[in-house]
């Protein structure tokens, strides 16, 4: 018989029909009347399915009474409208097949609550908890909605390389990729001889797909990437990962205002999508993780984002009645505490901050006429702070070359990027949305390590 996912069984009204389901046991209660209740979950829905197992089954004692939390089981039986509160249907088992048992003395996920920190050490099992199942479903919905949003708007999905020889952000935070023997690398005049390395030169894991996306936007008009990116920055915060996924749209003939409009439409679309499709999971987060979550998501879908310049943001922060750990002054980068003050306290909604000082932003951002700022934009949201970073790109060859030199970057690495400004250059813009931070915001989960299956952070790459 064909298996039905529990989410479809829960939505079914075909009472009296026979169904087969399978999953992992969440609870087992044995009744004095000689039968048992099982709740099983297969991850397809937040809720599990209640199964009533009669004691008359052949394997009741040998198997059913050994099913403890975490055991795997398949059940065939009749779908019945449930008399009990809390569920609409249940299944009266005619056959139970036990797969793997889970010794309750050994299996770590028992009834009592385990901290998120502890669960990080059990990342291979945590997907079986309510929280991590819900995170996985919301993460999946946001990924699907991302493709839907861009595809509906004629963007082309582009795969940019993970291994690269150029630093897309120019910040030097790259992991090196090499096949050289680190204990005894080949040397030439005392230096490591990279001509003997796999690619014949030093290569790295990319920090961003942007530069590749620009080459395609300048041919195909609008593209987006959605892939993993890597940063070797030693940031042990609740919003940094060493490996995270990023969505990077890039649009030709678009300026900074167009870019901000796209980012705002996209973010609002995502939250509307999950409010419509993931209500059980979001209600769970609202109840157990962050009681302001649903109100915050709903308010974002119908409020316009505020747009201010960096200079205005600094003025607001200087006047703020708040104690900051890091000082605020024009020219300094905004810290997470400043970002949160602006979006949570000063404006109480998402904020798009534009026109940052050139000195604190990447080489590729378009220089403004004031000579001091660039056409940058960050989208800030409550609780998480920066969720999107983007800009209008410098499309003028000589200005770009000047910025590369001013930042002390090796211009020979960027020859092809400069070429785009020599042939058919046009104004163009794009941004990167950090997928982990998005899922954090969408679920209310405090730590980015708990919204990706296997987090990579300094000193941590188990699993
Ligand atoms: O602001 P960032 O560094 O911008 C770029 O990489 C541009 N190339 C994007 C573009 O214009 N195409 O990173 C973009 C976003 C940030 O706003 C943040 O949400 C996320 O990526 N991000 C991180 N997320 C988790 N861990 C980290 N270490 C992150 N660094 C950036
Ligand atoms: Mg940024």
- Judge whether 225 lies within some domain: yes
DSSP structure class, residue 344: I
Q: Is there a single domain that holds both residue 228 and residue 265?
A: yes
CB of 208 shorter than 6 A to ligand 1: yes
Q: Whose CA is nearest to atom 26 of ligand 1?
A: 240
Based on the structure, what is the number of domains in the chain? 2
The answer as to whether 43 is a domain residue is yes
Say whether both 86 and 214 belong to one domain: no
Span 22-81, pLDDT tens digits: 999 999 999 998 999 999 999 999 999 999 999 999 999 999 999 999 999 999 999 999
Residues 212 and 353 grouped into a single domain: yes
pLDDT of residue 307: 98
Mutate to test the pocket of ligand 1, among 223, 389, 437, 455 (most ligand atoms within 8 A of CB): 389
Hey, what are 425's tokens?
């250059």
pLDDT, position 302 = 86
State the SS3 of 320-339. Answer: CCCCCCCCCCCCCCCCHHHH
Residues 133 and 29 in one domain: no
Question: CATH number for the domain including 405?
Answer: 3.30.930.10
pLDDT at 1: 87
CATH code of the domain covering residue 47? 2.40.50.140
Domain boundary among 100, 134, 151: 100
Last residue of a domain, one of 85, 100, 115: 100
Residue 308 C-alpha from the chain's centroid: 26
402 with 354, same domain?
A: yes
Reported as a single tens digit per residue, the pLDDT across 107-160 is 999 988 999 999 999 999 999 999 999 999 999 999 999 999 999 999 999 999
Selected residue with higher pLDDT from 86 and 346 = 346
Confidence of residue 411 (pLDDT cuts 50, 70, 90): very high
The Cβ-side half-sphere exposure at 453, using a 13 Å CA radius, reads 9
- Do 90 and 144 fall within a single domain? no
Say if residue 272 is in the same domain as residue 310.
yes
pTM: 0.96
Tokens 């010794």 locate to: 103
Ligand 1 atom nearest residue 387's Cα: 19
Going by pLDDT thresholds of 50, 70 and 90, the confidence category of residue 86 is confident
Q: Are residues 140 and 93 in the same domain?
A: no
pLDDT tens-digit profile of 178-233?
Answer: 999 999 999 999 999 999 999 999 999 999 999 999 999 999 999 999 999 999 99
Query: Which residues sit with Cβ closer than 5 angstroms to ligand 2, an ion?
Result: 389
The verdict on residue 185 lying in a domain is no
Instruction: For ligand 1, say whether the CB of 430 is within 6 Å of any of its atoms.
Output: yes
- Do 18 and 146 fall within a single domain? no
Mean residue pLDDT of the chain comes to: 96
200 is a domain residue: no
Task: Tell whether the model's pLDDT for residue 85 goes beyond 90.
Answer: no
Q: Assess if residue 1 is contained within a domain.
A: no
Does residue 369 sit in the same domain as residue 313?
yes
Distance from residue 406's CA to the centre of ligand 2 (Å): 20
Structural domain of residue 427, as residue ranges? Answer: 126-171+207-450
Which strands make up the sheet holding 428-434, listed edge to edge?
156-157, 222-230, 243-252, 428-434, 385-392, 373-381, 351-357, 306-309
Please report the pLDDT score of residue 111 as a whole number. 86
Q: Tell me, yes or no, whether 458 lies in a domain.
A: no
Residue 189 lies in a domain: no
164 & 50 share domain:
no
Are 26 and 74 members of one domain? yes
Residue 396 lies in a domain: yes
């Amino acid at each position: 018989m064909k298996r039905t996912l529990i989410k479809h069984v829960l939505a079914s009204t075909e009472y009296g029909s026979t169904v087969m389901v399978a999953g992992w046991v969440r609870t087992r209660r044995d009744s004095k009347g000689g039968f048992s209740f099982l709740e099983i979950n297969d991850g397809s829905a937040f809720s599990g399915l209640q199964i009533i197992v009669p004691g008359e089954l052949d394997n009741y004692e040998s198997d059913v009474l050994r099913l403890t939390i975490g055991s795997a089981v398949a059940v065939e039986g009749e779908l019945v409208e449930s008399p009990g509160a809390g569920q609409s249907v249940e299944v009266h088992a005619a056959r139970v097949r036990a797969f793997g048992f889970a010794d309750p003395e050994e299996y770590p996920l028992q009834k009592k609550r385990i901290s998120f920190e502890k669960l990080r050490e059990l990342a291979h099992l945590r997907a079986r908890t309510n929280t991590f199942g819900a995170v996985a479903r919301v993460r999946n919905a946001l990924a699907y909605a991302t493709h839907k949003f861009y595809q509906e708007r004629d963007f082309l999905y582009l795969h940019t390389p993970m291994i690269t020889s150029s630093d897309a952000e120019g910040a030097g935070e790259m992991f090196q990729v090499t096949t050289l023997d680190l204990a005894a690398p080949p040397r030439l005049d005392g230096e490591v001889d990279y001509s003997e390395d796999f690619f014949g030169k030093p290569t790295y894991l990319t920090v961003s797909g942007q530069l590749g996306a620009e080459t395609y936007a300048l041919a195909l008009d609008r593209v987006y990437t959605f892939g993993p990116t890597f940063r070797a920055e030693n940031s042990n915060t609740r919003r940094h990962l060493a490996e995270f996924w990023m969505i990077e749209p890039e649009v030709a003939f678009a300026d900074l205002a167009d870019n901000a409009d796209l980012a705002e439409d996209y973010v609002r679309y995502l939250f509307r999508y999950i409010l419509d499709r993931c209500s059980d999971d979001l209600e769970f987060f609202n109840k157990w993780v962050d009681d302001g979550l649903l109100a915050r998501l709903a308010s974002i879908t119908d409020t316009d984002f505020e747009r201010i310049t960096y200079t205005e943001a600094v003025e607001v922060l200087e006047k703020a009645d708040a104690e900051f750990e890091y000082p605020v002054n024009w020219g300094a980068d905004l810290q997470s505490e400043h970002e949160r003050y602006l979006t949570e306290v000063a404006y109480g909604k998402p904020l798009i901050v534009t026109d940052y000082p050139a000195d604190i932003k990447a080489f590729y951002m378009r220089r403004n006429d004031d000579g001091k700022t660039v056409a940058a934009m960050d989208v800030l949201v409550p609780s998480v702070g920066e969720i999107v970073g983007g800009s209008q790109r410098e499309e003028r060859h000589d200005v770009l070359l000047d910025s590369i030199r001013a930042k002390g970057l090796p211009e020979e690495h960027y020859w092809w990027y400069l070429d785009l400004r020599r042939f058919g250059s046009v104004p163009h813009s794009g941004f990167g949305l950090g997928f982990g931070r998005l899922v954090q915001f969408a679920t209310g989960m405090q730590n980015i390590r708990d919204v990706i299956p296997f987090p990579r952070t300094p000193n941590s790459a188990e699993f």
